Amino acid sequence: MQWIIWECATFIIVKRSPNLLCTITEVIDYCYFFLDYYAKFRNMLPVNSYVTVKGDLHESANQSKNVDFERIGGNTENPVGFMMTRWLLHNKSFDFVNLILSPDNSPLDGCLNWPSENSHRRRHEFSLILERLETYMNEECVVFFGNFNCSIDCERFLKDQMNLNKARIVENDNNDQLEAYDLSLRKIFTVTRTQFNFHENHDWLFGTCNGQLVRKYDCELEPFLKGSLYEPNIYFAPTDPYELGPTFGKEPNFVRTECPAWRSRVLINQRTREKIHHDSFSSSGLYYGLVGEAEYLGQSKPVAMICTICLK
């Protein structure tokens, strides 16, 4: 295979779309689009042959034993589940699991009590997927990618912002609204069922230093990263939600209807982590970041992991 160089293979794993209900043909086409793009970027020959499995998920699963999927919840508009495809390179198996978990119901989720009900639900859903794929976890390479829909610890985040700005929440009869003001009556934040807004500091707070000011509140996946799974350090801004604004390209423009968070992720099993090749001239041979960081690609920005995996 033309991608094999010194018994190593280079892969790009991209969270392409939040919709799980796509055809296996589309998934393969997306993979090879990015492989071809990266090959040209590295002056390498692109992969020019592969077997296409046609049809929807049900038909594809019947045609190939290397395709597995399960829908574990959600509805037509917000499906919850996974699709796994297996690839064989030099007699080594590579399993790619595209998944989508339940979203929050409103921006108020987790603001008064975290983990929220939906955070617990997502953890339960991911646990079900891991149980379903337990027999694969010790294979050569297992990659989980997609829309994890993770939320940050909003309860602790809002409390810290109130302490930092010496602000307090104004009492009102509406339990569906949180508004905080500082000592000079400057509005710090507004959170309702349809709004999550830090006003003039919103983009600065979530976008400065690639989101590192709020990165410590991203802890929903921590229970899974202490065992069989690994995620590289995140040094990029939240993946959601974006809008096209007048300053886009100079600084992130986040939609004020949801709390920004790292919802699109790429996780790998420990055996894959052990096989990642590190360049002798750098501390890491792995890239983990946003695709189209300065471009508007929709509310959700794709995440890419680029690494070299040793096959021997």
Q: Is the peptide bond before 241 cis (omega within 30 degrees of 0)?
A: yes
pLDDT in tens, 215-237: 999 999 999 998 889 999 999 99
Which 3 state secondary structure label does DSSP give 94?
strand
The stretch 25-36 carries a mean pLDDT of: 42
The stretch 307-312 carries a mean pLDDT of: 78
The stretch 195-200 carries a mean pLDDT of: 95
Q: How confident is the prediction for the chain on average, in pLDDT?
A: 78
Give whole-number Cα distances, 173 to 113, 164, 178, 181, in Å: 19, 26, 11, 17
Nearest to 152 by CA among 232, 238, 261: 261
Q: What is the pLDDT of residue 65?
A: 53
Phi and psi (nearest 5°) for 163?
-65, -40
Residue 193 DSSP label: S
Q: What is the pLDDT of residue 281?
A: 54
Q: What is the pLDDT of residue 24?
A: 41
pTM of the model as a whole: 0.79
Least confident of 4-8, 129-133, 179-183, 242-246: 4-8
Q: Which residues contact 53 (CB under 8 A, 6 or more apart)?
A: 24, 25, 28, 60, 63, 64, 67
Least confident of 150-164, 191-205, 295-309: 295-309
**Helix extents (H) in the chain:** 24-41, 57-63, 117-132, 154-164, 202-207, 270-275
Domains and CATH numbers, the chain: 2-307 (3.60.10)
pLDDT in tens, 122-162: 999 999 999 988 888 888 889 999 999 999 999 999 999 99
Q: What is the pLDDT of residue 307?
A: 84
If pLDDT is split at 50, 70 and 90, which confidence band does 166 have? very high
Q: Which residues contact 55 (CB under 8 A, 6 or more apart)?
A: 23, 24, 25, 63
- Is it the case that residue 64 has pLDDT exceeding 70? no
